[in-house]
Every structure is written in C-alpha cells, then in structure tokens.
Amino acid sequence: MIIKHLEYLSALAREKHFSRAAAACNVTQPTLSAGIKQLEEAVGALVVERGHQYRGLTPEGERVLAWAHRILEDYDSLNQELSAMRGGMLGTIRIGVIPTALPIISLITTPFAKRYPEVTIRILSRTSAEIQRGLDDFELDVGLTYLDNEPLTRVRRLPLYRERYFLFTPRSPEMEARTSVTWREAAALPLCLLTPDMQNRRILDAHFREVGETPRLRVETNSTIALYSHLRSGQWSSILPHTIMYLIAELPGIVAIPLAEPDASHSIGLIAAEREPLTPLASAILDSASRLDVADFANFSSTVDQL
C-alpha cells in the first residue's frame, strides 16, 4: 500500500464515479482501478462494492477511508513542515467560507498571501454545515463561519468580528430619513433572502420569531449574486450583514438602514479541526489572522454613515 492508492480511494469516495475520480487524480481509469485493487490486497479486504459502476464502499472500506484521510492529512502536513524548514511554506490551503463572509475574506487572505507567497489559497463557498463536514472529513484546512449560533464540534476557534444586520430597500424620501428600521417593519416588506440551508437565513428567521412575525418572503436563493441582482432591480428588499458594504458600498436606488428591536449581532471567526498537531498551513493562517484587527475593518463605520 502506498500513498497514491489512498489518494485514489479518497477521490473515488468524493467523486462517486470511477472516471471522475481518475481525472481528479490525473490518471487513467484502469490505473485507478488497479490501485484500488492493490489497496484491497494490502489490507486484506474489499473496500469498494463490486459493480460496473460505483456503488459505494463496503463497511471495511469506510474504515479504510477514515484512516486514509488521517494518513493523507499527516503526509501533507509532513510535506508542509519540511518545506517550511527548507525556507518557505508550500502547498494549498483550503478555506471554506459562508457566503455572507465572502465579501471580507480578502482581509484575511491578502496578509497571509504576502507572508507566505508560495502558498496557493483555495476559497470555497460553503454552508456552515458543509464547513463542519469538510473539517471532519479532512477536505478543508480552516473555515470562516458563525461561532455562536449553532453548535460546532471538535474545532478550535478564533473570533474575528460580529456580524450586524441592515435592511437594504428601494430608496425613498421616507426611507432616507430613517436611522433604523425594526424587524417587525422589515417583515412586511417584499423580501429576497438566502435559502433555509444557509445559517444566515436561520438566524434571520429566529429574529423574526422573536418579534412574533413571519417575513413576507417573495424570493429565496442560495446565491448572493442572485440576491444582489434582485436588489438592483428596485423591486425587492433584503436583510444583509453590514460586511456586504465592504464589497458594494452602494447600490443604485437602494438605501441601507440598520435593523433594531432587537439589536442583533453574531460572532464570525476562523475554525480549524481540534487535532494535534494542527497542520502547518492551518496553524499559519490562524496565527496570521490573530495579528489582524478584522473587527475594525469589518465595522466600516465611515461607509455605514454615508448610506
């Protein structure tokens, strides 16, 4: 059994298709199949259900996959540590980011990239649940997600800022004069929000329940780009984190007003799997982010005051 055979198994479990797994590993399908067979011979058990198409892993295969993830993670960490000893960190860091935090991810990755110029940064838009699974399955190095709303397990945390909420609504003399809008008032507007699989949406729904209201939902999407598109049409309103204003300081015909009653905020930060030792890349980005005052940048007080 060699490392590449474990990589074949990991790719097959991820892609659930022999040809796609082979392409992901940059080998032919016969090479991948032969490697899986050699792995089975090495461990003395079938790991893949037999069939013309991928049908899943055997119970023994599930256990082998769990160990394969650990071994591949340790192997990758070894290479990272050796490259650091030779004078520079190498490799690819995989960061899962909830959609509402994507506008400010560059505040974290840009200083990291300057500090480690040979590291490739891979940013993946993920729900909070997908980030947890990605860390558990060794598919992510770190995640940028909510820290205080829904339970996180087996992770270490680095709080970075608190997410606050604004109503984005068509500009009018009445709305331009407002310094705040209540959640009860916002519930009566035709809203475009993220879908319920997004924790941001579940947070908003919880605050509407606090005031005994059900929002007048007209459009829901799992894409922030689609949400911005509907806002730009001037027919819809939405509730978004204040950090959106780092990316889009102003939308034509749209005014952003702080939400009140209740004054809500939630903690956002980096998480990494609670393992020892932590991978060098995960440790490096946590250390880099800990030196930043992300909360100060994420407040954007001057931008908010202008809107």
Residue 244 phi/psi, 5-degree rounding, is: -55, -30
Q: Is residue 211 part of a domain?
A: yes
Predicted local distance difference test score (pLDDT) of residue 298: 58
Rounded CA gap, 207 and 198, in Å?
15
Start-to-end CA distance of the chain, whole Å, equals: 61
Kindly indicate the confidence band of residue 305, based on its pLDDT and cuts at 50, 70 and 90.
Answer: very low
**pLDDT at residue 300 tops 80:** no
Our CA dihedral for 206, 228, 289, 304, rounded to 10 degrees, sits at -80
Do 118 and 242 reside in the same domain of the chain?
Answer: no
Q: Is residue 42 part of a domain?
A: yes
Q: Name the least confident of 208-212, 234-238, 292-296.
A: 292-296
Based on the fold, state whether residues 88 and 154 are members of the same structural domain. yes
State the residue range of the domain holding 61. 3-67
- pLDDT band for position 167 (50/70/90)? very high
Task: Sort 33 into a burial class: Cβ within 10 Å, 0-12 / 13-18 / 19+.
Answer: middle
Whether residue 304 is contained in a domain is answered as no
Q: What stretch of H or E contains 268?
A: strand 265-273
Confidence bin at 52 (pLDDT 50/70/90): confident
pTM: 0.76
Beta partners for residue 162, in sequence order: 267
**Gap between the Cα atoms of 245 and 254, Å rounded:** 12
Q: Tell me, yes or no, whether 116 lies in a domain.
A: yes
Domain containing residue 172: CATH number: 3.40.190.290
At which of 37, 67, 97 does a domain end?
67
Contact status, residue 119 vs residue 89, Cβ threshold 8 Å: yes
What integer is the mean pLDDT of 181-189?
A: 96
Same domain (yes/no): 125, 200? no
CATH of the domain at 132: 3.40.190.10
Q: Bigger pLDDT: 84 or 244?
A: 244
| Residue of higher predicted confidence among 190 and 86 | 190
More confident residue, 23 or 306: 23
- In this predicted structure, the answer to whether residue 1 has a pLDDT above a threshold of 70 is no
Q: How confident is the model at residue 85 (pLDDT cuts 50, 70, 90)?
A: low
Least confident of 6-15, 116-125, 190-199: 6-15
Say if residue 253 is in the same domain as residue 271.
no
Instruction: Tell me: do 32 and 121 sit in the same domain.
Output: no
pLDDT greater at residue 13 or residue 307: 13
**Are 34 and 182 contained in the same domain?**
no
User: Which residue type is seen at 81?
Assistant: E
Token pair 């999407």 is found at 221
Asked if 138 contacts 9 with a C-beta cutoff of 8 angstroms, the reply is: no
Does the pLDDT at position 302 exceed 50? Answer: no
Domain count, the chain: 3
Mean pLDDT of 215-223: 92
Average pLDDT over all residues of the chain = 88
241 beta partners? 165
Dihedral Cα 195, 201, 205, 207, nearest 10 deg: -170
Instruction: Reply yes or no on whether the pLDDT at 306 is more than 50.
Output: no
- Domain for residue 79, yes or no? no
Share of residues in the chain with pLDDT > 90 (%):
54
Instruction: Provide the residue count of the chain.
Output: 307
pLDDT (0 to 100) of residue 232 = 87
Q: What is the CATH number of the domain that holds 61?
A: 1.10.10.10
185 with 252, same domain?
yes
Burial class (CB in 10 A: 0-12, 13-18, 19+), 160: buried
Residue labelled with tokens 């980030």: 131
**pLDDT above 60 (res 245):** yes
Task: Give the model's pLDDT for residue 78.
Answer: 75
